[in-house]
Structure 1
Amino acid sequence: MDITPLSPQRLRAVKASYTTRYVAAALESSADGYHLETDRAPRAGDVVVARVTEIGKHTRLEGPASRRQLLFVGDEVLLAYGPRYAPDQFLAEVPEDLGPCDLVAAGGLAGRVVDQHAAIDDATRIEPLGLLADARGVVTLAEHAPYDATPAPRDDATPSGTRPLVVGVLGTSMNSGKSTVLASLVNGLTRAGLVVGAGKATGTGAGNDANLFHDAGAVRVLDFTDFGLPSTFRLDLAAVRDVWTALVDQLALDGPDVVVVEVADGLYQGETAQLLADPAYAGRVDVVLFAAQDALGAAGGVGRLAELGLPVRAASGVVTASPLAAGEAGAALAATGVPVVDTFALCDPAVATGLLGLAVGAAR
């Protein structure tokens, strides 16, 4: 086995990332007994120590507490391998070896760029120094995560009034306004006196959305990284289903009035499309809000969700930033009975509770 010892001083000086935050917490407790392994291919979720060799798209690394750390050539960073699907940025895969690769997400994802949007800079380049390992083997995100994606069977005998209302937030694509819709709804429900949990079931590891949901008033926030996943791209349906189910069930444990969970990317992204067509999604969602970038997207998305039998309550998102576009969307959806609701109107307690049929200050 090809190993390189790591002193605690050197390891603690490495810039940790948001995605590796639970590993970083363990290292803060004790950084003894670690080394680097360089003789096996990386896998999604493996933790790697790498050196920055060229600054590109990502000039900063999101730290464990979400502070954006400025990167310098020569910095040693703590990342996790994982694939990325981001139409506005990169398509990236886990490399087949520990050769030079890329920082493909500011949250701390190492991968090899396969393709990218024409308007963005090339990725920041990194040189993996080795997989972080201890006496048990290579360190992974999963072994340090607080939860695992093993969903408990749903107790359908439980009276529905004792379970939280579960709201799904979906959208046409990346940057359609899903996270802002979710945060606005959380804020409106919280201002109405309701207790709300929030989460993100799929996507690429980053702290922005989790912090947004906390700031909006959610009492508890979880995402897939809390279940040991750097991203959900390339997971098979069973794994995505388990994350969705376990995340919703965890958020429901504290007895909130409402749980609101986002599924990343658009309806036709591979993992999202499979999840939405699976009975496990409909089995745990009571209401869906749909975020769109334009009127055509709103009409097409609401139509597709109707085909899937999902209960769409309203369209919102980026389309509502333009009164003209919102008017077009309203006209396109008139026959469906699905209203177009301004994203920030959801911060109004009356709008938020009225949309979901909830009483102010009282659980469903």
Structure 2
Amino acid sequence: MRIVITGASGNVGTALLRRLAEDGGHELVGLVRRPPGDDAPLPAAEWVRVDLTDDADAGALRAACEGADAVVHLAWGFQPSHREDHLRELGVGGTRRVIDAVVATGVPHLVHMSSVGAYSPKHDDSPVDETWPTAGVPTSMYSRHKAAAERLLDRLETDFPGVVVTRMRPGIIGQRDAGSALLRYGLPALVPSGVLRHVPVLPIDERLVISMVHADDVADAFARVLAARAPGAFNLSAPPPVTAHQVADVLGARLVHVPSGVVRAAVSASWHARLQPVDPGWIDMGYAVPLLDSTRARTELGWSPTTDAVSVLAETLEGMQEAGWSRTPVLRPRSVAGGLLRTLRRGPVSSRREP
């Protein structure tokens, strides 16, 4: 199969390239804004430079999709968090541009990376299946944009029923090599990664419980969907749900219960003051989104996660502590010196747009 993958050099994209290469026989095309160098430890793929926020790149996007058996849309943005216009143009506008290219070139299968963040707020901690509403958490820009992308997919299914549309809705996706990228999204440039080895207390609401899954297991689910051309939505989560106490245990910290409203206020104040890059919507979403029931993926795809969620958490936190990385522009190594240099040249990550 000829498979076109947007965001192929990122957390899930690199895992998917590895997984599809195991199958063999695929022609892989990676659409990215910053193609990786020849030294990147990735399977052979054709790399096409495309900016999904730019209508001027529509021609290159459509040309890459010509003759494709499937398009996998992974590209999304987390920073700059103080520029919602740009993040929406990438997430929602980028999805619209990918859909337009799929329709224009007659691609028969679109696989879209949605998220647990697309779901409406939970009622309790009972896992939900794929029929749960996808109206998002209104106070989270990430969640709003994921929900808006789902509405574009609804319209695609209605207007072009011949296109098979698959929506993958994973929990938080982790792997060691994403450590540096996660640190750039979540920590000020001045803070070294090693500080995460010395966290004495974790001041969060003890009610936190989240779904997690390993990037390699997500990639396996994508490969199964592509092979079966399976339509519809699939939740992806590894057992057990990760609790606040387990996060503290993995960090070697003592959990100190702080109500989520207090945590949100502190995050909001520090974000507005440009002291750290995480917007308060992530706190709202963390306590609002439901846990995931992955029965459909297990029964219809034969999918089963190989890494439990607590191990995913431990590997991801270890990657953050050690600034885990890979040789792609998205997963590049993080350092305090490098972060400071970029801040001096282009401003803080929460306000700038990468070139």
Max radius of gyration: which structure? 1
Q: Which has the higher contact order (CA 8 A, sep 6+)?
A: 2
TM-score tier by shorter-chain length is 0.3 to 0.5
TM-score, normalised to structure 2, is: 0.33
- Give the structure with the higher percent helix: 2
TM-score, normalised to structure 1, is: 0.33
